[in-house]
Structure 1
C-alpha cells in the first residue's frame, strides 16, 4: 500500500494558466501609467507566449517584452520585481485541492511537494494557496540544488519521509520531468492530464484532483 503521496506544484495543484493570466492582467493595470503606449491585450499575449508555460524565467521574459514594445518608462527589473512580490496574490488552486489533501491526511498518508523553481518564490505560492500545513516535506529545486528530472530529488524525498520509493506515489502534469522521472526513480506515478501532452509511462491518469481519491492504491 502507498504510504506517501507527493505532488508537483505548477499545473498540478496550482492552476498556473489561470493564475498567470490573472497576474499579468493585474500587472498591466498597476503599471498602466508606464505602459499606456502598449496595448493591454498585446502585452498580455506577448507575455504568455514568452513565458512558455512557466519554463522561461521572467528576467528573460521581461527583457524581451521591454525590447519588443520599446518600453522606456519602466525597466524590466522593475517589472520582474513586481512579478516576484505580487504573483502570490493571483494564485488559483485547482478545484477541491484542500478536500483532497485533507482526505489523504485523514488516511494517515505522508504528504510532500517536489517542485522545480525559484526559492522562496515557489514557497510563497504554496503559502498563498493555504496548503503549507498539509505537507511533511517541501522540496524546491533552487533551494535543494537539484531538480526534476534528476532522480536524486525523488530519492531525497523518499529518505526524508522515511518511506521506500515504491511506497511513494507522485502526482504531476509533465510527462518527462514528472512521470518518467518519478517512475524511473521507483515511485508509482499519477499523471494529471494536461492538454497537449501525452504521458504513456504513467501508472495512472486523472483529469481532476479528486479522482486521485478513487484510485485503488490510495
Structure 2
C-alpha cells in the first residue's frame, strides 16, 4: 500500500510557463523607462528562449538581454534582483491543485516536495500557491547540497517521512530529473505530461494530464 506522495514543483504543481509570462509582462511595466524601445512580446519571447525552461541561470539570462537589446541606464543585476524579489507574486497553479491535495490528505497520504533551486525563492513560490501546509517535508536542492536527478535527495525525503521507497510515489514533469531519477531511487513514478519535454512514456508507471487524475490512480491501485 502506498503511504506517501512526493512532488516536483515547477511544471508539476506550479504552472511555470504561465507564471513566467505574467511576471515578465509585469517586469516590463516596472522597468518601462528602460525597456520601452523593445516590444513587450519581443522581450518576453527572448527571455523564454534564454531561460530554457528555468535551466539557465538568471544572471546569464539578464546579462544577455541587456547586451542584446542595448538597454541603457539599467544593469542586469537590477532585473535579476527584481526576478527573485517579485516572481512569487505572479505564481499560477495548475488546475485542480488544491482539490487534488485535499483528496490525498483525506486518504491519509503523507505529502512532500522535492525541488531544485534556491531555498528562499522556491519556498516563497510554494507559499504563494498557498499549499505549504499540506506538506510534511519540503527539500530544496540549495539547502540539501544535492539536486535531482541524484537519487540521494529522493531517499533523504523518504527517510524524513518515515516510509520506504516501495511505499512512495513521485510525481514530476521532467523525464530524467523526475521520472528516471525517482525510479532509480526505487519509487513509483508518475509523469505529468509537459509539451516542453519528450520521453519514452514506458519509463513512467503512470501518466497524467491533470493533477486530479492522481486520485483515480490511487483508487485503481487500492482496488488491486
TM-score, length of structure 1 as denominator length: 0.98
Q: Matched residue of 2:202: which SS?
A: coil
1:217 lines up with 2:221 in the alignment: yes
Residues 142-201 of structure 1 show CA distances to partners (whole Å, capped at 9, x for unaligned) of 111011000100110110000001101000000110000000100011000111412431
Q: Matched residue of 2:212: which SS?
A: helix
Distance 1:109 1:168 in 2: 10
Distance 1:115 1:36 in 2: 35
TM-score, length of structure 2 as denominator length: 0.95
Aligned to 1:71: 71
Distance 1:130 1:185 in 2: 29
Shift of the alpha carbon at 1:73? Answer: 1.4
Could you list the runs of 5+ residues in structure 1 that have no partner in the other structure?
none
Cα RMSD between the aligned structures? 0.9
Indicate the larger mover: 174-183 or 198-207: 198-207
Pairing 1:69-148 to 2, within 5 Å after superposition: 69-148=69-148
Runs of 4+ aligned structure 1 residues displaced above 6 Å come to: none
Distance 1:80 1:169 in 2: 35
Residues 72-110 of structure 1 show CA distances to partners (whole Å, capped at 9, x for unaligned) of 211100001110011001000001101110111111110
Aligned to 1:206: 208
Distance 1:45 1:200 in 2: 33
Shift of the alpha carbon at 1:217? Answer: 2.8
Aligned to 2:184: 184
Total equivalences in the alignment: 218
Distance 2:198 2:125 in 1: 24
Distance 1:109 1:39 in 2: 48
Aligned to 1:197: 198
Pairing 1:10-25 to 2, within 5 Å after superposition: 10-25=10-25
Shift of the alpha carbon at 1:40? Answer: 1.6
Indicate the larger mover: 163-172 or 188-197: 188-197
Residues 119-162 of structure 1 show CA distances to partners (whole Å, capped at 9, x for unaligned) of 21001100000000000000000111011000100110110000
Distance 1:187 1:52 in 2: 28
